[in-house]
Amino acid sequence: MKTKMRGADYIIKAIQAAGVDTIFGYPGGAIMPVYDALVAHDGGQKIRHILCRHEQGAALAAEGYARSSGKVGVCIATSGPGATNLMTGIANAYMDSIPLVAITGQVASPLIGTDAFQEVDVFGMTLSVVKHSFLVQNIEDLAEVMTQAFSIATSGRPGPVLIDIPKDIQLAEFEFENNAATVVDFSTATTEIINEELLELAVARIKNSEKPLIYAGGGVVLASATDDFRAFCHATEIPVVTTLKGIGTLTYDDPLNLGMLGMHGTKAANYAVHECDLLIAIGVRFDDRATGKLAEFAPNAGIIHLDIDRAEIGKLKRANISLPGELAPKLNYFSKNLSSLYISNWKKRCRNNADKFAWDYDAPIEGIYAPFLINELSKQAEQNTVISCDVGQHQMWVAQHYGFTHPNNHLSSGGLGTMGYGLPAALGAQFAHPDAMVINISGDGSFMMNIQELATIKRYNLPIKIIIIDNQRLGMVKQWQELFFEERYSEVDLSDNPDFVKIAKAFEIEAMTISSKKQIQKGLNNLLKSTSAFLLHVQINSQENVWPLVPPGLNNSQMMEGAAQ
């Protein structure tokens, strides 16, 4: 049976058919027909549109929605600056492999290439930061493009897809089959049958190792394989280190969990990597922030690498055994075929290091020690609390000191390192989980990047909690200038910050400032007990740094240490 409707109406119908009920965007001339369809077409009534106050906020909110829910995120913007403002959010999703569909309006087809008002070649501009781009040039192609876009974004290794749609295509009418568009799978995953011979080799290699170590990343989360991963870890009792994106794949208090590795990783994790004789890399890409000096990363270890994307295997570090494809079947095979490993001495050494180098939160200062604050927040917040970070020192403190029990509760910009990510990502998470507590932990630099989204919190009456850790500096840049540029501080002074409490109250958000150790409990109580949005402004010493730190050019065992100021 065929149905006739405008392209814009079909776009809304296709979004709904993909199971999406919440989209984030900002209207404008070239996308106006789609916004008309939101209210004019019956399907639009079933989709909740969230008006963010900047297109970058909309893209990052959609990404936060996807990251916290496991569903595809959708953002919409107009042509020109609307589309270019989406690009940071699209790139962020690409770097962290988050399923996102970005829909942009484009000038009418006859005007493309004429430098028309608000015309930008967003198709070309985004090619390096998407899994796939579409420019719809014929209304008859729209149904298939919409179906393919959602298939590509969610299949295999997830990622963002851009659909650029000229205004005349949105307004044109066409007939389509109700079951239109064949799903096309552009997945990078292997379609080969599981190679049991390789799995048997991997099992034998693991059994013969004396100091095996599991190195887990965000791929475990994206594959929805967290339960399978935990079963494998507990069946073998092999110690585990995680990347920033892998935090929560094992609960923070699991005795096998040595913590995050890398530049600001735990000493126990980094020493374990340096000493292991077999590294079982699962859903990781050997990122430079995790590996330090690559040539000296896990220098004594053979490598078994599992990843959905075969292009990642051997890209940076040669694997002795390569296992591309879906993670869950392989992890289940390992769980069934591995037990009673003779690694008790190794497990004891790893656990002793974890205990020996455990964090000391008793800093001898009258002011607020940020790691202590975050650890206290972790103890007092509900277990299903979603923490959304910005980027900088506070991001690393959260990774080090907040106890996560599930990876979807930790939202952090990993690959791109996007300042301004945290507040819009918290918006997306709150819409994905309306009954959960969502807390954005930000720095004073990052918070100013997308501060306009306080208006979105007000408009939708969202109970998001915000903690600003304010050292009146661009803290991470300041730390590097201090350590590696002979204390030549260049453009990191933010001592002219506005009054964040007054700003929050202007948006009808409760707020308070704390600056001493004795105020921490009151601040956290007010934050956690508030039934509405709340901003806690936390003033800390501008000289505070994140430790440990692996300096550039050194391996992960060569960590610098410091003390609380």
Residues 6+ apart with CB under 8 A from 187: 152, 155, 156, 157
**Residue 38: CA count within 13 A, CB half-sphere:** 18
- State the catalytic residue, choosing from 117, 173, 356, 379: 117
Burial (CB < 10 A; 0-12, 13-18, 19+), residue 484, is exposed
Report CA 412 to chain centroid distance, whole Å. 4
CB atoms within 10 A of CB 502: 9
- State the catalytic residue, choosing from 13, 167, 267, 478: 167
Structure tokens at 522: 């009151």
CB atoms within 10 A of CB 166: 23
Amino acid letter for position 334? F
Q: Confirm whether 150 is a catalytic residue.
A: no
The CA angle 441-447-453, to the nearest 5 degrees, is: 100
Q: 292: phi > 0 → left, psi -120 to 50 → alpha, else beta; which?
A: left
- State the catalytic residue, choosing from 13, 16, 24, 55: 55
Q: At what angle do helices 370-380 and 520-529 cross, to 10 degrees?
A: 40
In the three-class reduction of DSSP (H, G, I as helix; E, B as strand; rest coil), residue 502 is classed as helix
Structure tokens at 168: 């005349």
- State the catalytic residue, choosing from 260, 396, 476, 559: 476
Q: Confirm whether 118 is a catalytic residue.
A: yes
Q: Confirm whether 500 is a catalytic residue.
A: no
Q: Confirm whether 117 is a catalytic residue.
A: yes
Q: Confirm whether 476 is a catalytic residue.
A: yes
Instruction: Quote the CA–CA distance of 458 and 455 in Å, as a whole number.
Output: 5
Instruction: Quote the CA–CA distance of 563 and 565 in Å, as a whole number.
Output: 6
Instruction: Quote the CA–CA distance of 520 and 346 in Å, as a whole number.
Output: 39
- State the catalytic residue, choosing from 5, 71, 118, 448: 118
Looking at the annotation, which residues are catalytic?
55, 117-118, 167, 476
